[in-house]
Amino acid sequence: MSELYFVSSNEHKFEEAERILSNFGVNINLFKTTLEEIQSNSLSKIAERKAIDAYTKVQKPVIIEDDGLFIDYLEGFPGPYSSYVYDTIGNKGIIHLLENTELRDAKFVAIIAYCNGGNDVQLFEASISGKIASVIEKGGWGYDPIFIPQGESKTYANLSDKDKFSHRAASLKKFSDWFMHKH
Ligand code: IMP
């Protein structure tokens, strides 16, 4: 099987992806770099561009991941802008925006994009429903301390088995089903 690179600047994502994919018999290497992130309302379009940029940099089969946290009460915000929003107002800002409401439903979406040359990109999307916590829990990374997956009482930050529920695991499962079949 040819080498497969997970291209990202986020080592947390890679660590989780490596662990998840190894359970499906797929090995990945980290190629650490920052990818071009276009402005778009569509996660798929962002993921597609990122995958093409990643292939251009690595010149080997690559996967990239693009995620978004969509909060119902905020009409899907931050969605495709999740990274920018995390870096600016952060978890504190999100909790503040939801201060006066009980409507805390949200979903975390992950798209895995695979590219092995040209403009041919395969997308694998999955999402997990959940809620935004009312206080920021300790631990985890990114939005982990405020996202409670459906059926759980703790946030991602405090679940020892995050991989069982995560948006990342669900999209990687779809990818590996396709990838293993293809090889
Ligand atoms: P990105 O644009 O794909 O890097 O992701 C959007 C935002 O969601 C970034 O701020 C990530 O740190 C965050 N994010 C993605 N996946 C997770 C996760 O599993 N836990 C916590 N935050 C995440």
6: buried, middle or exposed (CB in 10 Å: 19+, 13-18, 0-12)? buried
User: Residue 171 — very low, low, confident or very high, per pLDDT cuts 50/70/90?
Assistant: very high
Q: So which residues are the catalytic ones?
A: 66
pTM above 0.85, yes or no: yes
Written as six digits, the tokens of 87 are 């870096």
Out of 44-53, 92-101, 174-183, pick the least confident. 174-183
Q: Look at 183 and 55; give whichever has higher pLDDT.
A: 55
What's the gap in Å between 143 CA and the centre of ligand 1? 7
Closest C-alpha to 147, from 101, 93, 105, 110 = 105
Q: Which of 143, 155, 161, 163 to mutate to test the pocket of ligand 1 (most atoms within 8 A of CB)?
A: 143
Summarised one tens digit per residue, pLDDT across range 71-98 is 999 999 999 999 999 999 999 999 999 9
Written as six digits, the tokens of 23 are 């359970």
What per-residue confidence (pLDDT) applies to 37?
87
Classify each residue of 31-70 as buried b or exposed e, where b means 16 or more C-beta atoms within 10 Å of its C-beta. Answer: beeebeeeeeeebbebbbbbbbbbbeebebbbbbbbbbbb
CA distance 92 to 98: 10
Strand partners, 62: 5, 115
* Ligand 1 touching residue 91 (CB < 6 A): no
Summarised one tens digit per residue, pLDDT across range 129-156 is 999 999 999 999 999 999 999 999 999 9
Domains of the chain, each with CATH number or no CATH: 5-182 (3.90.950.10)
* Ligand 1 touching residue 165 (CB < 6 A): no
Residue 124 has pLDDT above 80, yes or no: yes
* Ligand 1 touching residue 156 (CB < 6 A): yes
Q: Which of 13, 35, 67, 171 to mutate to test the pocket of ligand 1 (most atoms within 8 A of CB)?
A: 67
What's the gap in Å between 99 CA and the centre of ligand 1? 22
Residue 183 has pLDDT above 80, yes or no: no
What per-residue confidence (pLDDT) applies to 1?
57
What's the gap in Å between 66 CA and the centre of ligand 1? 8
What per-residue confidence (pLDDT) applies to 118?
84
* Ligand 1 touching residue 143 (CB < 6 A): yes
What per-residue confidence (pLDDT) applies to 76?
98
